[in-house]
């Protein structure tokens, strides 16, 4: 079976036949997207001061919020103030004049983000909008709110560089976060990507191998720590949308206090095959690595477990390259599942239904 899958994934026509809109090409273009986003962000005018900011909130949904999760992880590791991600119509009660809200919507028309933007305005929060246009750009410009405009015209989940980099640049400019080496992170992604592209044979292509591993299975992606779980969540979203495949995610050490017991009944719920991944940095503390090893032993009778290790000179480089690997996995898995990675029928149906109800 694996030989058959390898042969199919090594045939360029196999992975292109259901990707007429070039989602794969957008993944390949991610490093260039980060560099373009850096150019745009550095040229943007941000007439704010960071001295009195005590909290950063990134508000957005779906692909537009993915960059917020990465921002939060960087703030937790290196930031001067707390940062949280909001995925709702309203903001937390404590958001106020000492809060910087990044209103992020790739299209500019996400109804939850527009609602939270209005909420931020009512609370007197400082706001920066990151969007390609739409109603968010119109409102922000009318209100005198800084807008960082990024190029539009692609699925939001493929635009994480455009949604993330401007937030990081603005936060650094305001002294809330150390300046991130976007150029080095993009270069590392570009170098890493050479091993995951269509031209690289299955035998030496980790992305193809992981797609084969997940094919036909109930996938589980665990993060061996906080930022690793952020990347696991990104993997889940990409596997959901691109490959049309359900995936479960959780984080160490929390899963050792609950989900580990659930595995004891895994054989009773009718899943034909499980496939578990642990995303790791490789530099975790000894206690965390011991937890992963013991967990692997405990669940090994129910599921195989594979480790996927990040690489890169900085935390940002490790996060982005590990996330990009997941993008390639999702696209190869989409091909194996016979799915067009562009199509998101259920999301479109929900938006259509909501559009008919004021």
**Residues labelled as active-site residues:** 241, 257, 351
SS3 of residue 186 by DSSP: helix
**What is the distance, to the nearest Å, from the Cα of residue 228 to the centroid of all Cα atoms in its chain?**
11
**How far is residue 303's CA from residue 41's CA, in Å, rounded to a whole number?**
44
Tokens 């989940």 map to which residue?
157
User: Residues 102-130, buried b or exposed e (16+ Cβ, 10 A)?
Assistant: bbbbbbbbbebbbebbbbbbebebbbbbb
**How far is residue 23's CA from residue 333's CA, in Å, rounded to a whole number?**
13
Let me know the angle formed at the C-alpha of 308 by 296 and 84, rounded to the nearest 5 degrees.
Answer: 95
Q: Residue 62, by phi and psi: left (phi above 0), alpha (psi -120 to 50) or beta?
A: left
How many CB atoms lie under 10 A from the CB of residue 226?
13
| DSSP state string for 323-351 | HHHHHHHHHHHHHHHT--TT--HHHHHHH
**How far is residue 87's CA from residue 65's CA, in Å, rounded to a whole number?**
7
Considering only CA atoms, which of 98, 104, 83, 99 is closest in space to residue 148?
104
Beta bridge partners of 278: 222, 307
| Preceding peptide of 322 cis, ω within 30° | no
Q: Which two tokens stand for residue 192?
A: 């890493």
């Amino acid at each position: 079976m694996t030989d058959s899958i390898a042969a199919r994934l090594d045939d360029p026509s196999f992975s292109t036949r259901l990707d007429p809109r070039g989602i794969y090409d957008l993944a390949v273009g991610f490093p260039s997207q980060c560099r373009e986003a850096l150019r745009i962000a550095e040229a943007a005018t941000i007439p704010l001061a960071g001295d009195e900011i005590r909290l950063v909130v990134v508000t957005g949904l779906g692909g537009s919020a993915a960059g917020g999760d990465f921002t939060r992880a960087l703030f937790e590791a290196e930031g001067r103030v707390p940062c949280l991600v909001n995925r709702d119509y309203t903001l937390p009660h404590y958001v106020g004049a000492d809060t910087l809200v990044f209103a992020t919507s790739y299209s500019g028309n996400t109804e939850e983000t527009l609602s939270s933007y209005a909420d931020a305005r009512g609370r007197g929060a400082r706001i920066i909008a990151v969007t390609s246009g739409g109603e968010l750009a119109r409102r922000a410009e009318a209100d005198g709110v800084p807008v960082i405009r990024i190029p539009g015209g692609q699925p939001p989940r493929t635009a994480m560089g455009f949604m993330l980099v401007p937030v990081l640049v603005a936060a650094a400019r305001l002294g809330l976060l150390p300046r991130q080496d976007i150029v080095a992170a993009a270069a590392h992604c570009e170098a890493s990507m050479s091993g995951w592209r269509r031209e690289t044979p299955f035998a030496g292509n980790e992305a193809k191998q992981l797609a084969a591993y997940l094919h036909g299975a109930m996938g589980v992606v665990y993060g061996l720590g906080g930022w690793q779980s952020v990347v696991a969540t990104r993997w889940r979203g990409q596997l959901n949308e691109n490959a049309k495949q359900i995936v479960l995610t959780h984080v160490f050490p929390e899963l050792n206090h609950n989900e580990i017991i659930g595995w004891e009944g895994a054989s009773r719920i009718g899943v034909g095959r499980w496939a578990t991944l642990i995303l790791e940095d490789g530099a975790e503390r000894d206690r965390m690595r011991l937890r992963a090893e013991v967990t692997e032993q405990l669940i090994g009778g129910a599921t195989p477990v594979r480790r996927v290790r990040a690489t890169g000179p900085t935390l940002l480089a490790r996060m982005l390259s590990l996330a990009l690997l997941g993008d390639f996995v999702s696209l190869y898995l989409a091909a194996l599942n016979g799915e067009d990675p562009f199509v998101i029928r259920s999301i479109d149906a929900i938006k259509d239904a909501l559009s008919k109800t004021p």
